[in-house]
Amino acid sequence: MPATAVLLIACPDQRGLVAAIADFLLLHNANIQHADQHQDAELKLFLMRVEWELEGFDLDLAEFPPAFQPIAGRFGMAWRLAESARKPRMAVLVSRFDHCLADLLYRYQSGELHCELPLVLSNHEDTRWLADAYHVPYQHLAVHRDARQEAEQTQLAILRDLDIDFLVLARYMQVLSADFIRHFPQRIINIHHSFLPAFHGAKPYHRAFERGVKLIGATAHYVTETLDDGPIIEQDVARISHRDSLDDLIHKGADLEKVVLSRAVKWHLDNRVLVYANKTVVFD
C-alpha cells in the first residue's frame, strides 16, 4: 500500500471548510484517497477525515503544522496528523481471561493490526503461555489491594521505558486511577462485557441473566476517569433466550467481546476515530 497521511479535524461548522482544506492539499500536490465528513447539527460541529498519498506531496510532514496553522486558526480547528508508515506501539493489559488477548495476538501476527506489540502486561501469570506462543514479551506485575498506587507507578515506568503509544485493556480486571489515565488521554481502549450504558461495573452477565434480557452485548470504549463512561468506539449484540444459562451468556458474550475489541483497536490504529463531546465518529 502507498504511504499516506491522515488529517482529522473538528471545528465549528461554517462555510468554506471543505474548500479551504482541499485547496491547501491541492496547493501541495496531494492526491486524496479518502475524504469523509460529518456535521453534528445539534452541537454545530464539523468533523472530517481526509487521507492522501505522500508520493508527490511536496510538503514535508514536519513542516505541515506551521503551513496549515493559518487555516486551522481561521476556522478554529482542533486537528491532528498521522502517517501510515509509522506503527504505533501498543501494550496489552490482561488478567486471567484469555479470549480477547488470543484474538489480538492472532490479528497482530497476521498483520491485520498495523502496530508494534512490545509488551503484554498482566497482574496474573495465567496468560503467559499465550504470549509465549506468539513470541511477544510478557511481564507479570502483581497488583495488591493495599499497594495499587505503587503498582501503577511501576507500570507507568515500564510503559515509558518501552515508549508505548496506547494501551488495550483485554479484560484487565483492575480499575485504573485518574492519575494513570492522565498519562494516556484517549489512548486507553477497554472492552466492557455489556452493551453500555446498561449493566456497567462488575458482573454484568450475572445482572443481565437475573433481568432475563433478550440481548447481550459488548462495548469497546476509551477509558476516562468515570468508570465505563468513556466515548464508545464499537458495540455489538447477540440474541439469547430463556433456554440460555448464565454460562451460555458468558460464552456467547466472550465471542462478542473479542470481535468488538479488535474492531475498535483496528479503527484506532487506522486513525478512523475522532472523539468529541464524550462520543466518537468512526469514519468509513
Whether residues 32 and 123 share a domain: the answer is no
Whether residues 26 and 62 share a domain: the answer is yes
pLDDT at residue 197 is higher than 70: no
Q: What is the DSSP letter of 164?
A: -
CATH number, domain with residue 221: 3.40.50.170
Q: How is 95-136 classified by DSSP, letter by letter?
A: -S--HHHHHHHHHHHTT-S-SEEEEEEESSSTTHHHHHHTT-
Q: pTM (2 decimals)? A: 0.92
Whether residues 136 and 49 share a domain: the answer is no
Q: Where is the domain boundary, 41, 65, 83? A: 83
CATH number, domain with residue 8: 3.30.70.260
What's the rounded mean pLDDT across residues 142-166? 95
What's the rounded mean pLDDT across residues 150-156? 96
Whether residues 79 and 93 share a domain: the answer is no
What's the rounded mean pLDDT across residues 223-228? 90
What's the rounded mean pLDDT across residues 124-152? 96
pLDDT at residue 198 is higher than 70: no
What does pLDDT average to over the chain? Answer: 94
Local confidence band at 96 (pLDDT 50, 70, 90 cut-offs): very high
Which position has the higher pLDDT, 251 or 74? 74
201: left (phi over 0), alpha (psi -120 to 50) or beta: left
pLDDT at residue 117 is higher than 80: yes
Q: Where is the domain boundary, 55, 83, 111? A: 83
Q: What percent of the chain is predicted at pLDDT more than 70?
A: 96
pLDDT of 202 reads 67
Whether residues 111 and 170 share a domain: the answer is yes
Q: Where is the domain boundary, 32, 59, 83? A: 83
Query: Which residues constitute the domain of residue 214?
Result: 89-282
Whether residues 28 and 125 share a domain: the answer is no
Whether residues 76 and 99 share a domain: the answer is no
Is 228 a catalytic site residue? yes
For 52, how many CA atoms within 13 A lie in the half-sphere containing its CB?
21
What's the rounded mean pLDDT across residues 13-18? 96
Write down the catalytic residue from 36, 132, 146, 228. 228
513470541: which residue's cell? 135
Q: Work out how many domains the chain is built from and give that number.
A: 2
Local confidence band at 212 (pLDDT 50, 70, 90 cut-offs): confident
Whether residues 74 and 95 share a domain: the answer is no
